[in-house]
Amino acid sequence: MNLPSMNDGLMSASACCPALLIAAPASGQGKTTVTAALARLHTRQGHRVRVFKCGPDFLDPYWHTLASGAPVHQMDLWMTGEADCRARLAAAAMQADLILVEGVMGLFDGDPSAADLAQRFSLPVLAVIDASAMAGTFGALAFGLQHYRPDLPWAGVLANRVASERHAGMLQENMRQPEHWLGALMRNPAMNLPERHLGLTVASEVTDALARLDAAADAIATTPLGMMSLTDLKRWDVTFTTELDSGQQPDFKPLAGRTIAVARDVAFCFIYAANLDCLRALGAELVFFSPLADSALPACDAVWLPGGYPELHAARLAANLQMRDSLRAHAARNKPVWAECGGMMALFDELVTVDGQSHAQWGLLPGIVTMQKRLAALGPQQLLLDGHLLRGHTFHYSTCVTPLASSIRTARPGTEPAPEMGEALYQLGPIRASYFHAWFASSPAATASLFSPGSACPHALAEQTDD
């Protein structure tokens, strides 16, 4: 670590650490499995591994946290911002023996893309290619990924889902630059990570999750990549530098003295760790509860219902009338509720699952939510809230029909909100709800307003306990 002298209240901090960005030509190639396998392999060897996920993703980080034993944060040059990415990489380099960043979609997909992140921070790219249905084309694809964009930092290529040693040999023979061959992973159901409609199943719900990671780690240990020591990995050393403010930090604590109750269980699990950090930094005390298992809210001043899988637990949510009544009483006292995506879905009158079954929900918002077989919305979004711009994204398979008018709407980056475009934000009394997933640190002021009283619309909620 290097800490030069201070200039104008700023101090430059830098550290060097081996780092890889694990990418692929498309989604579904095995990036998450390879990233988690590398993390698990080196963690088992006693190395300190820090993993990051490129883009707005809640699910892959659960697996990487289990594999590495350390918190996993998201990185996105637009949503989280370059300064946040830079600071997190530098902090990780000061503590870790290896940094892994899992890309998003294909290497060059999206704006910004994983390739943009790799170039901005000089992260060598490890390309994972599903080679199950190819031979000679593997070499062409590897060469194209490396050279499509000039000056892209490059580590090498790993073949995934390979049929046999003979198949692996054919793939290796077709490499234009043989030194970039980092090995092959054979087809192995024991290391598959289970999926469902929103992506990977949350690791905590998979009873043999660690066994699957160990199988993947064992497999990658037999490849040239897995056989590398920490000294070998230093060929991919990257120096990360960030600016630290050495002066007095502003005492912006608008949530000081306030307690926020955060829903957290298998139905409500789409929570950025950085969002919790942001709330604490704003002065809030956090308490957690389970809408599935608990009968009442903990003592609190505000509630956050994050996204998740209410559609998989709709019957249990419907049956928890005590929690419904506790939430209704909270709102009737004009205490704020912020509900994101799945959290919002549970607040409506009714939820219809993809097989057509209807379940009564908590009825704090009028309307019906219906699950779809296809994605209803996907992509980065921004929300102008109380004069402050909050960044985030949307990703959902359901639609809702409600008599509520949207108070405001989100917009895609660089555009203005427009009627029937973006995601609606609904407000009823102290409840604010939207399909929009917010990245709180993008606007601490807007975040504070979500959990502060005084912004309620005139329609009040009556306290009810009827069935």
Q: Which of 17, 300, 341, 400 is catalytic?
A: 341
Q: What is the pLDDT of residue 205?
A: 65
Please give the Cα distance from 102 to 145 (Å, whole number): 16
Q: Read off the pLDDT of residues 247-270 as tens digits, 9 standing for 90 and up.
A: 545 578 999 999 999 999 999 999
Q: What is the pLDDT of residue 158?
A: 98
DSSP string, 388-406: EEEEEEEEESEEEE-SPPP
Q: Which of 3-12, 52-61, 100-109 has the lowest mean pLDDT?
A: 3-12
Asked whether 19 and 98 are in contact (CB, 8 A), the reply is: yes
Q: What is the pLDDT of residue 466?
A: 38
Q: Which of 126-135, 195-204, 315-324 has the lowest mean pLDDT?
A: 195-204
Q: What is the pLDDT of residue 370?
A: 94
Q: Read off the pLDDT of residues 315-374 as tens digits, 9 standing for 90 and up.
A: 999 999 999 999 999 999 999 999 999 999 999 999 999 888 999 999 999 999 999 888
11 pLDDT band, cuts 50/70/90, is low
Q: What is the pLDDT of residue 288?
A: 98
Beta bridge partner(s), residue 54: 75
Once rounded to an integer, what is the mean pLDDT over residues 213-220?
95
Q: What tokens does 363 get?
A: 């009825």
Instruction: Judge if pTM exceeds 0.85.
Output: yes
Once rounded to an integer, what is the mean pLDDT over residues 205-209?
76
179 pLDDT band, cuts 50/70/90, is very high
Q: Residue 120 pLDDT > 70, yes or no?
A: yes
Nearest to 242 by CA among 36, 15, 50: 15
Burial of 420 (0-12, 13-18, 19+ CB in 10 A): exposed
Q: What is the dihedral of CA 274, 197, 195, 130, to 10 degrees?
A: -100
Q: DSSP assignment, residue 367?
A: E
Q: What is the dihedral of CA 84, 125, 158, 38, to 10 degrees?
A: -30
Which residue ranges form the domains of the chain, and what is each CATH number?
16-243 (3.40.50.300), 259-450 (3.40.50.880)
Respond yes or no: is residue 341 known to be catalytic: yes
Once rounded to an integer, what is the mean pLDDT over residues 179-197?
82
Query: Backbone phi, then psi, for 141, in 5-degree steps?
Result: -65, -45
Once rounded to an integer, what is the mean pLDDT over residues 398-402?
92
Calculate the average pLDDT of the chain: 89
